[in-house]
Amino acid sequence: MTDKSVKHEKAAARQVAALFFTSIVGSAFAVYAYFAFPITEELGTVRLNTLLLGLGITLGLLGIGIGAVHWAKTLMPDAEVSEERHIARGSEEVRARAVEIIKLADSESGFSRRKLIRRSLYGALALFPLPAIMIFGDLGPNPGDTLRHTMWKKGTRLAKDPSGLPIKASDVTIGSVFHVIPEGLSELEHHKLEEKAKAAVLLVRLDPADIKESEERKSWSYDGIVAYSKICTHVGCPVALYEQHTHHLLCPCHQSTFDVTDACKVVFGPASRPLPQLPITVDAEGYLIAQSDFTEPVGPSFWER
Amino acid sequence: MKNKGSRRSPFAAVLVMAAGLALTGGGYAAATAAVEQVKPASAVASAAQVEEGRKLFLANCASCHGKAAEGSAAGPSLIGVGAASVDFQVGTGRMPGQASGPQLQAKKVQFTQEQIDSLAAYVASLAPGPAVPTEEMLAADGDATRGGELFRINCAMCHNAVGAGGALTEGKFAPSLTGVESKHIYEAMVTGPQNMPVFNDANLTPEDKKDIITYLKYVEENPSAGGYELANLGPVVEGLFAWVFVLGLIIAITIWLGAKSN
């Protein structure tokens, strides 16, 4: 249309110029907004600042882009043009000249002649990646038996996360859920998070009549109080969505569901093993303590399991 | 000399003072009355209030919970659930329940606060249980940082890190905590309504609970620094936004680029 009518052509030209002008306004606004809405102590100012800055920059870039496309579509010729493909091979002269240059370089550097230099260079090139292999070796050390053990051991008190205060059996009323760490975890100087990631436990009190316990696990609970690893056996998310009435524990990542009344067996979802149970009892002062470490590795399956 | 210029009557000052006194005194009286209105639940319930509550109970609750709140197949026993439980369930409209489903949801409250207080007094008179928290326990002036940590450890797995709520199993869900009264948040922690576990005072001390409420009120009142939250529901909503709107925009631009100009 614009190549047929002068009026349309002028209008299109004005539109393109307007788009470029919009871009100028946007960029200028971005600069203005950066100074006019500074980031202060208050969190909300970060949001306003980034929002206005972003809008300005967007307008600045989009104006140029849309303007250029509009220009090409309306004002530039739209006749179709075909272009022949060129031969990739160089002419005989060019090829001969190239060979000449390579030969000259070889004779001047003596690469073919000086065997000692050439072979020692090959040796150097072959050996220089070796240090990288050494560094890969440092990705270790091998985990050893750390995947099979946690901080829990005989007599470790169950403590509240994050305060580390020990929990009395009488504190745990029916229907309540405690997020538990081993006592002493907060005082660890090294690997605190690694230990927490393995040792995190969920403590729940059920009506003893509701619990289905196998003969060998009868002594693992205390008066309806049961403790299970909080680390999902699927890929290790913290399983902590406890439903008080259904006694189901839900993992928020992939919806694996475990039945707390029945040894935390899987009732739904991708997890394939029950959550490991921590055998607990009480000490002389009435605090809950572990009878031992978990009797199986916690968390997801690994290569030797 | 006759003071012709003065437009003030000699009584004006007296009148102004009287009006001022009446306003401040009356205002104070009204304010103290309002303050006292707030905390009848924490005071010892009168026999009349318990009786009033019993009548309301028989008329509205007994068909499911039994004539003496002993429970039936349709509803649990309310003996020992305490005033806090009644104030939460009735005060958020969850009770009386109207439709069966995966869980009872908050809806329009059907009783006045006075009636709820009476019901709570009646249920509390049956057996001891958690009381309605006092104003002081609810003031959101605790430590929001500590409250945030406690919230992330104890609550966030179900209610989301900023209390936006989340899904549970088989149609159940943890509701959003935005806009929920401090009183009801506190009562929910103490009583563990429906599938929510109980957080007794040994687990989360009253101070812990206050800090948690402080945190929730803080995130409610302060805008997110990270831009618009898209309901704070995380990767699902954000992904949906990116796939539908951003991808849609890119497709639209691509079509425009390829289209012939008219």
**Are A288 and A280 spatial neighbours (Cβ–Cβ below 8 Å)?**
yes
B156: CB partners within 8 A, 6+ apart: none
Residue A281 φ then ψ, to 5°: -155, -170
A1 inside 8 A of chain B by CB: yes
For chain A, give the mean pLDDT.
91
AA identity, residue A85? R
Give the model's pLDDT for residue B22: 67
Q: How many CA atoms lie within 13 A of B152 on its CB side?
A: 8
Highest mean pLDDT, choosing among A76-80, A234-238, B20-24? A234-238
Contacts of B154 in chain A (CB under 8 A): 179
Helix, coil or strand: residue A146: coil
Beta strands in B32-174 (DSSP E): 166-167, 173-174
pLDDT in tens, B219-228: 888 877 666 7
8 Å CB contact between A224 and A205: yes
* Sequence-distant (≥ 6) Cβ neighbours of residue A140 within 8 angstroms: none
Task: Please give the average per-residue pLDDT across A40-62, as a whole number.
Answer: 89
Yes or no, beta carbons of A250 and B169 under 8 Å apart: yes
Name the token pair of A7.
Answer: 């009026």
Tell me which chain A residues have a C-beta less than 8 angstroms from the C-beta of B223: 43-44, 47
Burial A202-213 (b: 16+ CB within 10 A, else e): bbbbbeeeebeb
CB contact under 8 A, B197 and A244: yes
* pLDDT at residue B26, as a whole number: 60
Largest Cα separation within chain B, whole Å, is: 97
Q: Is the pLDDT of residue A91 over 50?
A: yes
In terms of Cα–Cα distance, which of B183, B176, B174, B175 is closest to B213? B183
- The interface pTM score, or ipTM, of the predicted complex is 0.71
A8 touches chain B (CB under 8 A): no
- Residue A247: CB partners within 8 Å, gap ≥ 6? A204, A206, A210, A259, A260, A261
Q: What is the pLDDT along chain B (262 residues), one digit of tens a residue?
A: 444 445 566 566 666 666 666 666 565 555 554 444 444 444 566 888 999 999 999 998 998 998 888 888 888 899 989 899 999 999 998 988 887 788 888 888 889 999 999 999 999 999 888 888 888 888 888 899 999 999 999 999 999 888 888 888 888 999 999 889 999 999 999 999 989 999 999 999 999 999 999 999 998 888 776 667 777 777 778 889 899 999 999 999 999 988 876 5
Q: What does the pLDDT read at residue B196?
A: 93
The answer, as to whether pTM is greater than 0.90, is no
| Chain B residues whose C-beta sits inside 8 Å of any chain A C-beta | 149-150, 153-154, 157-158, 166, 168-169, 172, 174, 192, 194-200, 202-203, 222-227, 256-257, 260-262
A222 CB-near residues (< 8 Å, 6+ apart) = A169, A280, A281, A282, A288
Cα B257 to Cα B83: distance, rounded to the nearest angstrom: 67
Query: Are A276 and A298 a contacting pair, CB within 8 Å?
Result: yes
Nearest to B68 by CA among B8, B9, B126, B150: B126
C-alpha to C-alpha distance for A168 and A181, rounded to whole angstroms: 14
Closest Cα in chain B, distance from residue A55 (Å):
12
* Whole-number Å distance between alpha carbons of A300 and A8: 68
Q: Does residue A49 contact residue A38 with C-beta atoms inside 8 Å?
A: yes
Alpha-carbon distance of B231 to B62, in angstroms, equals 39
How many CA atoms lie less than 13 Å away from B198 in the CB half-sphere? 20
What's at A98, amino acid-wise?
A
- With CA atoms as reference, report the closest residue to A236 among A275, A186, A266, A265: A275
Asked whether A23 and A61 are in contact (CB, 8 A), the reply is: yes
pLDDT at B29: 56
Per the CB < 8 A criterion, the answer to whether B85 and B129 are in contact is yes
Contact B123, B53 (CB under 8 A): yes
> Does residue A288 have a pLDDT over 90?
yes
Q: Tell whether A34 is within 8 A of chain B (Cβ).
A: no
